Structure 1
Amino acid sequence: MVFRFDDYSNSSPTEVEFKVIEAFRRRGLKLTLAVIPYECKSSQEVSLQDIGLSAEKADVLRRALSMRIIEVAVHGYCHQPVHSRDNDPRSSFSEFVGVPYDIQLAKLSRSKRHLEEILGEPVTTFVPPWNSYDSNTLWVLGKLNFKVISARRRAPATPGISLKFLSTTASLPRLKRAIQFGRTVTNGQPIIVVLFHHFDFREWDPARGRVTYQQFEELLDWLVAQKDVTVRTIEETAHVVGDLSVDRFLANRDMRYSFRQNLMPPFLRNFIRWVFPRVVFVYLSSGDAGQMKFLIRLTLLDFYVGLLAGSVALGFLAANPLLRKYRRGQVLLLYAISVLLILLAAHPTRNPQLFYSGCMALVSVAGFAIGVWNASANLKYRIGTEKRLQR
């Protein structure tokens, strides 16, 4: 298990960070601090006027490092988005996505050098702000000798890259559930990465807070009692765990894509989350992630096959008595269903992502049409048989 405490900076609340570090120290636990090295006025470029980490903040890090409580990770340059949502509401916050290679190199080389000068030791873990980056970021990290990147499981990756990946999987309120579900994985070194910020504490931010300090300390006490759980930093985990390769990351990412694809109705996603909770809370091995991907897709296929079969049966049962009573209306009914099918088929073509609502409607109407056509064919066969018998 890994704890990742983000947004340590000149402007972050030192009192909260003291409490968190002290809570881990008293229990002999470790955590990774994702540190924002600079304050800057513009996120578009690197300036000599940008303000580095203060002496007070640097002292806190050095003391914690001397006690081997924490690992320091580079958390971007100044944690400011390069794109404004005022101009494009659909854009997501990011300090690196879409930024040219040279600018990313300048930002991250200066960030890494600044923290290493303060701490007197190498910093080899990168945590992108908002868990967001692009392919240029990965090439820059390789050039600067970073060893590990920790972000979300839906982020980009380049096959064959030597960088190690360790994605976040849980929050503080879900820690116990994550451990319970992690225990269901019997092989492949399952990993849980808990991400939290200072605003997750209700004493500091009543609106966004998820836990109180007391609940946080009780959670750590409970964790210490779990003898089958080992808490390490990101760097230590990268050394101990045999496989944190890009292949493992891609397997987990593909599994998540299967789980979150637009063909998946929300209620089916909730069902899968209930049956296979480790999909959400655990960073699985490549083999386990591949197996879960297969099971997710099989569940999705079973759902649509069942929906089609049920619609066929419903169409047959509904049309059979109507066609017997209104024989002249069967052609009109078939034409009406055909037109509806064409209209529904055009819906996904307008949206290449094939939203689940349109797909469910299309499969349902197609199945109903098949049932009606079967009922019509069955009726014609019976009428023909009766006429032959009367002769």
Structure 2
Amino acid sequence: MTDVAIRFDDPSAVSDHALERAILQVLAAHDVCATFAVIPCAGQRRLTAACAPHLVEAQQLGRVEIAQHGFDHVPCRPGDMPPSEFCGLDEPAQAEKISTGQAVLEAAFGCAISGFVPPFNTFDATTAAVLERQGFRYLSAGGEHGWVESGPLAQLPRTCQLTELRPALADARRRPAGGLAVIAVMHHYDFKESGHADAPLTLEDFSDLLHWLRGQPGVRVNTLGQLAARHDAEVWRRAVRRSRWVQRQHWRVRALFPHYGLMPHALFKYVRLTGSST
């Protein structure tokens, strides 16, 4: 079984709500529940139920899972590469941003917020420690940035962009014994309807992709919260370590293992089978 989760970053009080409503309609039409990583305070406007009723309704109907996307999505040190809202800030500063953002979203949605997606996919050990104290269940960032050393916080880094979902599942089918986890990320700017001329997708393309996804045998669609619950946090930490180990190897070794997914089980289960279906 291959587990797939879709993460949509950057909804906020000032984002493109018309596009978000259209995306929600496509998700509902294909009975897919995605995780929306929502910015609590964007452009000095805090998210409220009144300014984002489409998100509140979708959450109440069980059509989306809401995760916290930092606090204001502003780098703490302009000019740093990669940028980060949290890396390098002391613990009190990070705790203030995270707890305030969590409170904003919980007031807007009327539910506990237990998933965290750091802007720019970057965090540090202090971020992880604060998230654990605040009761977060999972952290979804980039596998190449930051590390969760221990504790109950599940680390679920994005493994591909939404546009890479088809090759990701083709890659997974070469490892029938594995049980791969694929976390695909999308943004507003991925859709031509956002006004970005070089966007790779239209809403119709998105609908076609979800129709295809729902028809794939051996594929289970999850929210990030559901994915976090499939294994304990230590299993997910080992999966992240395996991915990092693979990425450090010679290209011939890397080619034997999945390029787009997390490996919760022993490495030998994921060795590529030549001649299997693509």
Same fold (TM over 0.5): yes
Looking at CA atoms only, which structure, 1 or 2, has the larger radius of gyration? 1
Task: Confirm whether residue 215 of structure 1 aligns to residue 215 of structure 2.
Answer: no
Deviation at 1:185, TM superposition (A): 2.2
TM-score, with structure 2 as normaliser: 0.88
**For residue 204 of structure 2, what is the amino acid of its counterpart?**
Q
Return the alpha-carbon distance in structure 2 between the equivalents of residues 204 and 291 of structure 1.
38
Q: Kindly indicate which of the two structures has a greater share of residues assigned to helix.
A: 1
Deviation at 1:252, TM superposition (A): 2.0
The gaps in structure 2 that reach 5 residues or longer are 272-278
- Paired residues of 1:8 and 1:35 also in contact (CA < 8 A): yes
Task: Confirm whether residue 116 of structure 1 aligns to residue 106 of structure 2.
Answer: yes
Determine the structure 1 residue equivalent to 2:68: 74
Query: Secondary structure, in 3 states, of the residue corresponding to 1:230?
Result: strand
Determine the structure 2 residue equivalent to 1:183: 173
Distance 1:177 1:52, change over 3 A: same
Q: Kindly indicate which of the two structures has a greater share of residues assigned to strand.
A: 2
Distance 1:289 1:164, change over 3 A: farther
Deviation at 1:153, TM superposition (A): 1.1
**For residue 255 of structure 1, what is the amino acid of its counterpart?**
V
* Aligned residues between the structures: 267
Task: Confirm whether residue 17 of structure 1 aligns to residue 20 of structure 2.
Answer: yes
Summarize deviations over 1:94-119 as a string: whole Å, max 9, x none: 10011111000000001111111221
Return the alpha-carbon distance in structure 1 between the equivalents of residues 153 and 205 of structure 2.
36
- Say which of 256, 264, 267 aligns to 1:276: 256
Determine the structure 2 residue equivalent to 1:6: 9
Task: Confirm whether residue 253 of structure 1 aligns to residue 233 of structure 2.
Answer: no
**For residue 284 of structure 1, what is the amino acid of its counterpart?**
M
Query: Secondary structure, in 3 states, of the residue corresponding to 1:195?
Result: strand
- 1:80-91 correspondence runs (5 A): 80-85=74-79, 91=81
- 1:49-198 correspondence runs (5 A): 50-85=44-79, 91-198=81-188
**For residue 16 of structure 1, what is the amino acid of its counterpart?**
L
- Paired residues of 1:161 and 1:246 also in contact (CA < 8 A): no
* Percent identity between the two aligned chains: 27
- Paired residues of 1:74 and 1:127 also in contact (CA < 8 A): yes
Distance 1:208 1:80, change over 3 A: farther
The gaps in structure 1 that reach 5 residues or longer are 41-49, 293-391
**For residue 65 of structure 1, what is the amino acid of its counterpart?**
Q
Return the alpha-carbon distance in structure 2 between the equivalents of residues 26 and 219 of structure 1.
12
Deviation at 1:189, TM superposition (A): 2.3
**RMSD, aligned CA:** 2.1
- Paired residues of 1:189 and 1:241 also in contact (CA < 8 A): no
Deviation at 1:167, TM superposition (A): 1.3
Distance 1:254 1:185, change over 3 A: same
Deviates more, 1:195-204 or 1:154-163: 154-163
Distance 1:233 1:291, change over 3 A: closer
Return the alpha-carbon distance in structure 2 between the equivalents of residues 133 and 159 of structure 1.
13
